[in-house]
Amino acid sequence: NVAMLLLRFLPVRSIWQAPAMKSGVERILWACYLALVANAVARTIVVINLLPVERMEELTRSGLWLLMLAVNMVIGLAFILSLLASALREILQALRSERDHDALTSLLNRRSFFESAQMRLRSARSPGWALLVCDVDHFKRVNDAWGHAAGDEVLQIVGQTLQQQVRQDDLVARFGGEEFVVLLRCADMSVAAGIAERMRGQLAKTHCAAIAGAVTASFGVAGVGSSEDLPRALQRADALLYLAKNAGRNRVAWDASPGVVAV
């Protein structure tokens, strides 16, 4: 009993020093474990203090001993069930993360972006949103000249740079290939265009060892009025992106005012 008690005490310090547990399953899991420790303490005290060694066989046949075994079984079963629930929850979270994120850049994928964007756009607290579409310039040349491994490194650099330039509530996604999309909580298109320009400038001065140079990208920026407007806003931003590319690449095109495009 003393040996079992000492073994169960081993993780207690880690439990107390662990960060706050946000999941109810985790709290139940550790509560059950601490109950197992408390039960081991009680059983050890009973064995040591209530009966001398020569009468130990009487204790193991008593109702008290059977009660302690039953309590230990119930707590242990609760611990096992909560442990299985916690493990299942972690597996589901890992599967959901793999489903929702791009494997190369760890950004949201296209499907997850639309789900998250729809939720944000339906929020009544949101004053306005802007959609940024980013496309790496001459990406096919990168793959042809330096190989696909270099192309992957370029995409990772672009994804990291875009993610570093936005706030926590904004969304950054890789739509596929060399195309990225950003949803900004910003009602002023000139401000959104300034953020896109900052992203473009940061990319242009970021050295990529795989291609022995910097990465450039073009941007299209359009406003988003509502969740229903998201597909049309994506089309407008995509059209503006191609205007930026046709104007020489490595630049930002945006809706300056109704009927006016700034490049």
Give 262's strand partners.
Answer: 254
- Cα torsion 72, 75, 79, 80: sign: positive
The DSSP H or E segment spanning 102 is: none
Residue 90 a catalytic site member: no
Dihedral, 80, 85, 87, 92 alpha carbons, nearest 10: 170
**Active-site position among 26, 178, 197, 228:** 178
Are 182 and 170 within 8 A, CB to CB? yes
**CA pair distance 191, 196, nearest whole angstrom:** 9
Q: Which amino acid is at 142?
A: V
| Cα end-to-end span (Å), the chain | 77
- Residues that are catalytic: 178
